[in-house]
Copies of this chain bind each other. A is one copy, B any other.
């Protein structure tokens, strides 16, 4: 239990460049440790965090938004009022995600119905063919 990763370990695993990982650090999204010699060293938590970042990216959040969300869930919010605010914000963000999901489902359906059109056209052609 002391599992760490180098920057290229993670770069390979997630199929991104080392530059990208360093850039995320530059933007305050991740905070790896350092070795004696000054090289970055990533813990399991860092790796998990990177996965989260990439997941956020994949559906169109900006790095700034992702930073906001992550840092939010990150702080040691011990006060009651703080916790309540955090939860409020979290609910809002989740709703945003829900909305995006709905939007995508709508697009999916639209695409599907276009495809149906094409398929019935194809069927018709095939029908004519065998006359």
Residues of chain A touching chain B, judged by Cβ–Cβ distance below 8 Å, are 52, 55-56, 58-60, 69, 73, 77, 80, 83-84, 86-87, 90-91, 93-94, 97-98, 100-101, 103-108, 110-112, 114-115, 118-119, 121-122, 125-126, 129
Contact = CB atoms under 8 A, between A and B. Distances in A.
A123 to B, nearest CB: 10
A91 to B, nearest CB: 7
9 contacts: A55-B103, A58-B100, A69-B111, A83-B118, A87-B115, A90-B111, A94-B112, A97-B107, A98-B108
Contacts of A58: 60, 100, 103
Contacts of A129: 80
State how many copies of this chain the complex holds.
2
Interface residues of chain A: helix, strand, loop or mixed (majority): helix
Contacts of A56: 107
Given A83-B121, A84-B122, A94-B108, 13 more contacts: A55-B107, A59-B59, A59-B107, A80-B122, A80-B129, A83-B118, A87-B119, A91-B115, A93-B111, A97-B107, A97-B111, A101-B101, A101-B108
